[in-house]
Copies of this chain bind each other. A is one copy, B any other.
């Protein structure tokens, strides 16, 4: 008798869909196969697709409260407006923004995410209550100021010590130095040393825009990835978000050092950053995962948009209709995220953490279901997700999120936002 059994679904096992039953014991997958199994909770899945949960590998979760606040402006003007409102954010805003973001993630099949922001205790609290899995980091900005650097590193370290492993291991706390253009080489190397001492990871923005690429080259005489490698910063502990502007040699460096890359296709278009060379990175053997970035530059946490767009952008950028295949992009959105952050999930396999989603195989946009991979990757809206299991717990049942009161979220987000922007309402 398992804690949960998922019966008769069309399951993604390895790279193939096959009919199988899945047994969950505690927070792990204990059985995948054809035997008739029983569970304390039984989920009938004969009209479902069963796939590993999605891993959103780069977010600024609470930026939901800024979603749609300002749009369609030149980047510098947009940033000024975003910073103006970010400076006002209170712990209450961060908490409700996080709950709203997690609600959207659960509704669209995300079971784990990696976040970098501030007031991170509030994010951790939201993760704990909602039943989600998350990698969390306090975003450190030092700008060459030694005292600020000491304080930031202290805050980051305290956060890790307080939260790493919390909620039966659902939270993994790591370091989040913002970027090479907001942190000095000296500070970055201190973060690296501290990460080794604490045996933790480093989540950082690198080579997002052409502007950054040129700025680092001018200041240090090297392009961003090369610059970080030459100082000895890069290793398997490092997960870099974006990597839009990388040269061939830098792709080889990422592979050699075991650095994971988070591709954020929607955000890279919306902020006019460019199209990352995902095909080349994958072919070089780099572990590339997928993320949404923050809600202000996207504006959703719906990973199905990233999955489809990631594939489409590689096709147009390389003029090859077969540039990035459905199976590979779905793996980027699942397994590769878990691998990047050292979490044993992202596959329907015995021994893996039980982070699993069910999709409605009869959804009109999936029909006819020649190959479920193609339906999910090229025709997925996100709304087909019916059940979500994280760490062995059912947190969405037939589209009802069991851990969050949806109506309350609407009310509280509206009231917290109305306080936030008082006297600031933009003209459009």
Contact = CB atoms under 8 A, between A and B. Distances in A.
A309 interface: yes
Contacts of A369: 68
B365 A315 contact: no
Contacts of A323: 272
B368 A270 contact: no
Contacts of A364: 100, 103-104, 107, 406, 409-410
Interface in A169-220: 210
Nearest to A324: B72
A210 to B, nearest CB: 8
Interface stretch (A121-129, A224-232, A235-243, A298-306): A298-306
A75 B321 contact: yes
Contacts of A103: 364
B315 A379 contact: no
A220 B299 CA distance: 46
B428 A367 contact: no
Contact of A270 (B312, B318, B325): B312
Contacts of A273: 316
Interface stretch (A131-139, A283-291, A333-341, A370-378): A370-378
A175 to B, nearest CB: 30
Contact of A368 (B65, B104, B274): B65
So how many copies of this chain end up in the complex?
2
A74 B300 contact: no
Nearest to A64: B367
B321 A68 contact: no
A410 B361 CA distance: 10
Interface in A338-386: 362, 364-365, 367-371, 374-375, 378-379, 381-383
A332 interface: no
B321 A78 contact: yes
A266 interface: yes
A398 B414 CA distance: 24
A324 B71 CA distance: 11
A68 B378 contact: yes
A282 interface: no
Nearest to A322: B72
A398 to B, nearest CB: 15
A270 B321 CA distance: 7
A323 to B, nearest CB: 8
Nearest to A268: B316
Given A67-B368, A316-B274, A72 B269 contact: no
29 contacts: A67-B367, A67-B368, A67-B374, A68-B368, A68-B370, A68-B371, A68-B379, A71-B325, A72-B321, A72-B324, A74-B322, A78-B321, A269-B312, A270-B321, A271-B315, A271-B321, A272-B315, A272-B316, A272-B321, A300-B378, A300-B381, A305-B305, A367-B409, A367-B413, A367-B414, A368-B413, A368-B414, A381-B381, A381-B383
| In the complex, the 10 A-B pairs of residues with the closest C-beta atoms, listed nearest first | A68-B374, A269-B312, A368-B417, A383-B383, A299-B378, A299-B379, A72-B325, A269-B316, A272-B315, A68-B370
Given A100-B364, A270-B321, A302-B365, 20 more contacts: A67-B367, A67-B374, A68-B371, A71-B326, A71-B371, A73-B322, A74-B322, A107-B364, A210-B319, A266-B312, A270-B315, A271-B321, A272-B315, A272-B323, A299-B375, A367-B410, A367-B413, A368-B414, A370-B426, A381-B382
